[in-house]
Structure 1
Amino acid sequence: MMRKDVKLQRKYYTDTAEKYDEMHGGEDSAHDTALKYISTFMDHLKVTTVLDVGCGTGRGVQYFLDKYPDLKVIGVEPVQALINQGIKKGISSELLICAEGECLPFDDGSFDVVCSFGVLHHVAQPEKVVREMVRVARRAIFISDGNRFGQGQLWTRWIRLLLYKFGLWGFANYIKTKGRGYMSSEGDGIAYSYSVFDQYDILANWSDIFIFIPTLITDKKSWLHPLLTSSHVLLCCIKEANK
């Protein structure tokens, strides 16, 4: 049986599919920046296949197709209404697959690059999605998303970090969300407390090169950069070719 929050999320995206790109134009500037950084890495990785997990209307898929015409790019998205919008924009239906990130319909090591943009903070159990990304990736994983530790006043960032390190953030978030475990808004639907640093151990163990890149300008200064300074971060996890 589908969870209530998942049903609400799917309904939100189905209802807003036709205006999805317009609604998310501003916040997606962070992901536009991420795409440019990823392209720089891809130019050196000799990539032939890319998977975009949670591709929405295919914005990332279209970007890669335009920049690399010979590249095989596949997008996975659980909401059919968003896929339909991507098809209306001219993306082939063969490149957009209706499936969930927690259970990717591909063999191990199927793609040179696996990426996601602003997806994991909409997932109740992002670790499952990250483990699936690791499973199907060969050379690189790129995750562009929010960072709870880099949001709000500096003192609240420290409090969040300390609560997280002492294993108390789950309880604090339970109180903050009045027992739901998520927040709901007209602009972003269902959103869970998330940081791109949450699955650090999984990704660091998989990769040989691990890089954090802030994707929005910040005026905060700290030696814990970008952990406590950046609200949005791109994680770049790369494996050496000969391994």
Structure 2
Amino acid sequence: MSEIDVQRAYYADTAARYDDMHVAEGDEHYRALDWLSDLIRQHDIRSILDIGSGTGRGILYLRERHAIRYVGIEPVAALRDQGHAKGLGPDELIDGDALNLAFADNSFDLVCEFGVLHHIKDHRRAVAEMCRVARKGVFLSDSNNFGQGAPLTRAIKQAINALGLWRLADLALTRGKGYHYSDGDGVFYSYSLFSDVPVLRGKFPALRLMNTMPSSGPNLYRQAPHLAVFAAR
């Protein structure tokens, strides 16, 4: 069984408990959603595509505040069922593949994701697809592996990454699998949002970043475990 199959089986098995396991009032994604809500007003956003919507937390949060068009992509049927049961329509939460979005270029004003990219092996392709179908901007809320851990741990990871050896080091840490697994998160990859900044800048060169969790200092790459980034023209 591939890691994709393992991850989808994990979410199918935990769908009924998904919100209890992954959603908490005031967590990092709620802080990111608060910021995105302000950006919707500031940039006159009229349509949003949410990648990896799960049970629809992001769409439901924003829908209460902004009467615009929403579409969420979620490949796990059991999670979509939970979202539909919470009131999302069949055209608001649909099946789809983040690596091959079934939409034309510039189909949505904004494309976003919340904690999904660290579950996608080819995250650069996913972000490239997000940029392709976005007209005004892309919003990411995800982890920064290089800002996680004790100071010494972070320093070692950052040094390895600076030498261009992080992928090899992570393969060694995972005994060749290239991915990690936990009961709380299923399959996930060692991911830093900073890795996808060059992809974002290919279409949306103006970047704003926000630390969404407590950190040990102001250097976001070195000290922030989780970030949100808004990329626009």
Q: How does 1:1-243 map to 2 (within 5 A)?
A: 4-26=2-24, 29-69=27-67, 71-218=68-215, 220-221=216-217, 225-239=219-233
- Partners of 2:119 and 2:87 in 1: CA distance: 26
User: Deviation per CA, 1:133-156, whole angstroms, max 9, x where unpaired?
Assistant: 010001010000010011011122
Q: Give the letter for the 2:217 counterpart.
A: K
- Secondary structure of the 1:144 match is strand
**8 Å Cα contact 1:209/1:237 also seen in 2:** yes
Unaligned 5+ segments in structure 2 are none
User: Deviation per CA, 1:68-88, whole angstroms, max 9, x where unpaired?
Assistant: 12x000000111110010000
- Partners of 1:238 and 1:101 in 2: CA distance: 20
**8 Å Cα contact 1:51/1:114 also seen in 2:** yes
Shift of 1:207: 1.5
Relative to 1, partners in 2 of residues 1:50 and 1:20: Cα closer, same or farther, differing over 3 Å? same
**8 Å Cα contact 2:217/2:224 also seen in 1:** no
Q: Give the letter for the 1:137 counterpart.
A: A
Runs of 4+ in 1 over 2 A off after TM superposition: 25-28
- Secondary structure of the 1:228 match is helix
**8 Å Cα contact 1:154/1:228 also seen in 2:** no
State the number of aligned residues: 233
Shift of 1:64: 1.6
Shift of 1:40: 1.0
Relative to 1, partners in 2 of residues 1:124 and 1:27: Cα closer, same or farther, differing over 3 Å? farther
- Partners of 2:3 and 2:160 in 1: CA distance: 25
Unaligned 5+ segments in structure 1 are none
- Secondary structure of the 2:168 match is helix
- Partners of 2:229 and 2:186 in 1: CA distance: 24
User: Deviation per CA, 1:62-121, whole angstroms, max 9, x where unpaired?
Assistant: 11211112x000000111110010000011111111011000010000000100000000
Shift of 1:167: 1.5
RMSD: 1.3
State the TM-score, normalizing by the size of structure 1.
Answer: 0.93
